[in-house]
Amino acid sequence: MNMMNILKMTVVSPGRKGRHGSPWRTTEWRAPTATIMTVGLVLIGLAGCINLTRDSLPRQLYALNVETAPAPARVTMPGAVLKVRAFQEMPRYHGREFIYRLSDVRYQTDYYNLFLASPGALLAEETGKWLTRCGSFERVIAASSRIRATHLLEGTVVLMEGDFRNPGAPKAALGISLTLIDQKADPPAIVFQKPYAQFVALSNTAPATLVEGWNKALQNVLTDFERDLAAAMQPVRSDLKNTTQSSTNAVSEMNPNP
């Protein structure tokens, strides 16, 4: 329907019967050209003011923030320097937009709510902060540091989604596979490797609530990793202690007291 049709009106009113016996008469009214132009400009202006594209709404950016462990009384591995690489992501979790799992096979990404940086980079950053405080290593450095590290931590994000398959019981799901590499060995050797997964119940499906759930899940993962790492590195510390004691005994034998 064009503008002329919109602004054209046909009035039907009763009248005397004419030659053809019709008791009705019609009168056609057309709007003046100036009125048509005015209405057209108004409609064009309204169309320009209304933008229904998704880019017209603001996008919300989120970062992870894990409550770190308390500072230890002493460093458990003196001289050990750990470099934390940015974690890799499995293909389905590669990207900054939040991912919601709606069924066993159906997923949805959230254009309006996303991470400030890649999930792998944010998880590695929080992991480095945690390990700095837990005291397993003398120093923890970022992947960009030029300092030579004795150990390297790599991670792969295998699960990071809002699990909304059960609408009445939403969960924040997080899974990370962590690998610790001894770079002093020739060739470098894996000294610890283990996957971790956590599911945290949520009170609702709001994006901010989901982020808090991921923070709690990561805190649980790092608590378990710290405990497992301490147990795995115990033989290494024992060997270092025995080596140090043997060296001390050898020096004592070479320099007996008078």
Could you please report the per-residue DSSP string of 165-188? Answer: SSTTS-EEEEEEEEEEEESSSSS-
- Give the C-alpha separation, 65 to 98, whole Å: 16
Question: 36 and 70: one domain?
Answer: no
Rounded Cα distance between 77 and 94, Å, is: 34
Q: What is the model's pLDDT at position 168?
A: 95
Residue 114 and residue 16 share a domain: no
Only one residue has tokens 């945690």, namely 130
Are residues 24 and 121 located together in one domain of the fold? Answer: no
How many separate domains does the chain show?
A: 2
43 and 68 co-located in one domain = no
> pLDDT below 70 — which residues of the chain?
1-55, 69-75, 235-258
For residue 17, the enclosing domain spans 3-49
181: in domain? yes
Nearest CA-CA partner of 131 in 227, 204, 59: 227
DSSP state of 59: P
**Backbone phi and psi for residue 223, each to the nearest 5 degrees, phi listed first:** -65, -45
Please write the tens of the pLDDT for every residue from 131-146.
998 888 999 999 999 9
Residue 136, pLDDT score = 84
Query: Burial, 162: exposed, middle or buried (Cβ in 10 Å; 0-12, 13-18, 19+)?
Result: buried
pLDDT at 250: 42
Q: Are residues 26 and 128 in the same domain?
A: no
Give the pLDDT of residue 232. 83
Residue count of the chain, please give it: 258
Predicted local confidence at residue 230, as pLDDT: 86
pTM: 0.72
Looking at the structure, tell me whether residues 155 and 125 fall in a common domain: yes
- Residue 94 forms part of a structural domain: yes
Beta strands at 88-89 and 151-163: parallel, antiparallel or unpaired: parallel
Q: Which residues, including other chains, have CB under 8 Å from residue 174's CB and lie 6 or more apart?
A: 159, 160, 197, 198, 199, 200, 214, 217, 218, 221
The pLDDT of residue 36 is 54
Residue 167 and residue 78 share a domain = yes
Same domain, 16 and 109: no
Say yes or no: 26 and 100 in one domain: no
Give the β-pairing of 189-201 and 171-182: antiparallel
Residue 136: Cβ within 10 Å count: 21
